[in-house]
Every structure is written in structure tokens, then in C-alpha cells.
Amino acid sequence: MPDLTTLEAPAALAWVQEHPWAYPALETLHITGIALLLGSLVVFELRAWGAARELPAAALARLALRVSLAGFALVAVSGLLMFGSQPGELFANRFFVAKLALLAAAGLNAVLFHARGGVARLDAVARAQTALSLGLWLLVIICGRWIAYA
């Protein structure tokens, strides 16, 4: 298996490291995406846990999913650009590696939630999955913040 900690940034992404505003701008986009993603998930999760029962769960889920996906797209694009500017350093960082594993777990949880029809059921399993989702995303954020300090 190759040593991923020796990866170097592609020349096409040199602007991210060279321009004084590029990385901070990408971080701002990343945080904006996180806010959209997590904020919309929390709104739907509150509905799943019994709040605002007058709101139709399916309609709220459609809206929340669209906002979540838009936020995730923003996070993915900005994150990939930041990652591409320093891949070796990030792969050597245990918090980055943990963040990737947690992202995979959050994605799998979302797939399983939708595959079992969690929106239509909103049963105990669906509520547990939404709680797990929230916990995983908070851990992703924590690991993301700790990347800079490890």
C-alpha cells in the first residue's frame, strides 16, 4: 500500500496555497456548507423527534434534503480543494483520517435511513438514526476543527 502521507499537491492547485485569500475563502465556503447541511438536518430531526407535528414530514424532508445536499456539495467542493493543496499533510493527520471515517459512517447512515423508508415511518429506529446522524456530523465538525491543532 502506498504511503499517502508523501502525496504532493498538484500544480493546478498551487493557487490555493499561494493566494493569501484562497484558503480562508475556501474555509468560509466550507463552514457555510456545514451550516446548510447541519441546520437542515436538525430541523428535520426535530420533526422526527415529535416537534412541529403539524408540518408534513415528507414535505419537510424533501426541503431539508435539498438544502442538505446543497450544503454537502459546497462542503465537498471546498474540502476537496483544500485537501488537494496539502494531501500528504492531511493524510498524516489523525483527525483528518478520523473525519473521513466519520463522513463515511454518516453517509452510510443516511443511505440506510432512506433505504428503509425512515421519513415515512419516523419510528424508534428512524429517531435513533437521526440521533446517530446528528452525533456523527458533530464529530465530523469536531475532527475538522482539530485538524489545525494536531
- Convert the pLDDT of each residue in 65-121 to its tens digit: 999 999 999 999 999 999 999 999 999 999 999 999 999 999 999 999 999 999 999
- 9: pLDDT strictly greater than 90: no
Query: CB-based contacts of 13: which residues, under 8 Å, 6+ apart?
Result: 81, 84, 85
Whether 96 and 90 have beta carbons less than 8 Å apart is answered as yes
Give me the chain's average pLDDT, please: 94
Q: What does the pLDDT read at residue 34?
A: 97
pTM over 0.75: yes
